[in-house]
């Protein structure tokens, strides 16, 4: 089972200038609970955006074309397929835009936090078609906006 996990805004925006679009209080603990003990696969730019380096208690795999890159606490892969081959736990693809684009075809499940607001964005989640079926949707709210936790699976 390969899971994509992402937070998107009303226009599928996911990031701006190397950062996330919004802080969602409940989203981080949920992300941590889902991914802890498992494998997180990410693009090098998403890795660079992490405030404290590799995510603790998870196998971190960073995809890059840079053959000289070494990261303490993370494994390096030169393609998505190589990252998948190196995975030892349940696989969570955690971004960013380039890696989501490549992984949509091979993923089985999408966990999307849909924010009911539009932000200034320069990075987007790809469009996904109706081979993806919405199997659950949970509404939430914080001070600035409402959002839903949507789960899709490939039919
Ligand atoms: N909303 C969310 O849930 C969410 C989640 C994650 C990230 N984000 C946001 O997304 C943005 C970053 O996304 P991004 O699209 O700019 O970058 P990214 O996908 O995180 O990383 C891109 C990098 O990955 C490597 N790469 C990509 N395709 C590759 C391939 N086929 N083979 C080998 N290496 C490959 C390259 O690294 P090298 O340049 O080192 O070769 C490339 O520069 C940030 O704003 C971040 O905050 C949002």
CB burial of 139-151 (b: ≥16 within 10 Å; e: otherwise) equals ebeeeebebebbe
Q: Which residues sit with their C-beta closer than 6 Å to ligand 1?
A: 6-7, 14-15, 18-20, 42-46, 49, 63-66, 78-79, 94-99, 102, 123
In contact, 20 and 78? CB cutoff 8 Å: no
Higher pLDDT, 25 or 64: 64
Identify the residue whose C-alpha is closest to ligand 1 atom 30: 79
Question: pLDDT at position 155, please?
Answer: 85
Question: pTM surpassing 0.95?
Answer: yes
SS3 15: strand
When pLDDT is cut at 50, 70 and 90, the band that residue 56 belongs to is: very high
- On the question of pLDDT at 25 being above 90, the answer is no
Model confidence over 95-120: pLDDT tens digits? Answer: 999 999 999 999 999 999 999 999 99
- On the question of pLDDT at 121 being above 90, the answer is yes
Question: pLDDT at position 71, please?
Answer: 98
In contact, 8 and 14? CB cutoff 8 Å: yes
CATH architecture of 2-154: 3-Layer(aba) Sandwich (3.40)
Place of tokens 């937070």: 7
- On the question of pLDDT at 81 being above 90, the answer is yes
Alpha-carbon gap, residue 8 to 150, rounded angstroms = 11
Question: pLDDT at position 74, please?
Answer: 98
The 10 Å Cβ neighbour count of residue 107 is 22
Residue 105: name the closest of 78, 74, 136, 131 by CA: 131
- On the question of pLDDT at 138 being above 90, the answer is yes
CA of 85 to the centre of ligand 1 (A): 19
């Amino acid at each position: 089972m390969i899971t994509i996990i992402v937070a998107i805004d009303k226009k599928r925006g996911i990031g701006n200038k190397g950062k996330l679009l919004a802080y969602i209080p409940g989203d981080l603990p949920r992300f941590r609970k889902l991914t802890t003990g498992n494998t997180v696969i990410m693009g090098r730019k998403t890795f660079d955006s992490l405030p404290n380096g590799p995510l603790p208690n998870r196998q971190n795999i960073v995809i890059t074309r840079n053959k000289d890159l070494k990261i303490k606490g993370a494994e390096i892969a030169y393609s998505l397929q190589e990252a998948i081959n190196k995975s030892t736990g349940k696989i969570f693809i955690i971004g960013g835009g380039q890696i989501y684009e490549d992984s949509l075809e091979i993923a089985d499940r999408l966990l999307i936090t849909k924010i009911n607001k539009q932000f200034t964005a320069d990075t987007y989640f790809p469009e996904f078609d109706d081979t993806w079926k919405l199997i659950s949707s949970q509404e939430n709210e914080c001070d600035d906006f409402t959002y839903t936790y949507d789960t899709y699976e490939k039919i």
